[in-house]
Amino acid sequence: MSKSILVIKFGSSSITHANGEVNEQTLEKIAAQVAILQPNYHIVLVSSGAVAAGKSVIKNYKGTLSERKAAAAIGNPLLIAKYNHYFQKYGIAIAQSLCERHHFSQREQFLQLKETYQELWKNGVIPIANENDVVSNVELKFSDNDELATLIATGFGAEKLLISTSVGGLLDANGQIIRQVQKIDSDVLSVVSHDTSSSGLGGMISKLTFTRLASRLGIKVVIFGLDQGRGIIDALEEKIGTVFEAQEASLSARQKWLATGSLIAGKAVLDKGAVKAIGQRKSLLSVGVIEYLGEFEKGEVIELLDISRNPVAIARVRSSKTELQQAVSSIEVAHADDIVIW
């Protein structure tokens, strides 16, 4: 496509007041800034806030799963109506996109989602994505919308992923924003607060977890604050917030989808020789597997671990666990094209 793809994620604390009411001044600011960027980008907005916007209607709200689902059902139309109101001022139509985990774990459904977004962009429409909390299975939920934004960014090949946060970026031990991070390692993680906002599920640890995944797959990520400078525009130009540099990644679109969208069904512990072989882009043979963990069927995705049980890759298997364990000779567990090294 002629335009680069830009994914922008807003957390609940970024767009709602402490009582859960939508911060309309913030939405007005978002619409104004996105309208400036739209001529040059295909934009996806990933917006939390539905549960926060709807929970005030639930009597004696305590945050149980059923209450969150009900709050989302109430809050989703409220939130999207507010977005629509402010984007209409700039002649921009929006579309609601309620996503579930299986839309990304099943490649055919993911490609259908991608085609729908491309049709929206072709008609000048901006999709606003959120998890479909009303029906999402608790075992197959996104961990939070940081994950959803990352899956969209990596699956669609976005140029940048912008993540808005109330603290404005990654803070050092003195509470100052770290302006640039080349690579997320143990030193970076050691400065992170484990706090979450009162209205959201994620915190900075969640943001860094998915930022690391996105940057490993070649996407530059900026964590920023909407109240800084010109907000989104300055974040895009890397004038504010924390910029996480993209790592070099020579993966196909299918491999990027495999690395991000797949649900892990089981695990396999590899010997040193097998770890070295897959690192050299060779297929995984069963002779190199020490142990299989969990249950998995042919075509499902498993995590590959080294002897110390550290994850080294994921792979789509060519046989079930039962077939692999019953094989009388070494067979191919996963082809090199179906293995993504971490």
Please, what are the domains in the chain?
4-253 (3.40.1160.10), 263-341 (2.30.130.10)
- Compute CA 166 distance to the chain's CA centroid, rounded to the nearest angstrom: 18
The per-residue pLDDT string of the chain (342 residues; one tens digit each, 9 = 90 and over) reads 589 999 999 988 888 887 778 899 999 999 999 999 999 999 999 998 888 888 889 999 998 888 988 988 999 999 999 999 999 999 999 999 998 877 887 878 889 999 999 999 999 999 999 988 777 655 445 657 888 999 899 888 899 999 998 889 999 888 899 999 998 877 887 777 555 444 444 478 778 878 888 888 889 999 999 998 899 999 999 999 999 999 887 677 777 777 776 667 789 999 999 999 998 989 999 999 999 999 888 888 888 999 988 888 888 899 999 999 999 889 999 998 888 887
> At 123, is the secondary structure helix, strand, or coil?
coil
Whole-model pTM: value is 0.79
**pLDDT value of residue 332:** 94
Where would I find the beta strands (DSSP E) of the chain?
A: 4-10, 41-47, 93-99, 125-131, 160-164, 180-181, 220-224, 242-244, 264-270, 284-285, 289-293, 301-305, 311-316, 332-334, 339-341
DSSP line for 137-183: -GGG--SSHHHHHHHHHHHHT-SEEEEE-TT-S-B-TTSPBP-EES-
Q: What is the CA radius of gyration of the chain?
A: 21
User: Amino acid identity of 56?
Assistant: S
Are the beta carbons of 47 and 130 closer than 8 angstroms? yes
Are the beta carbons of 204 and 189 closer than 8 angstroms? no
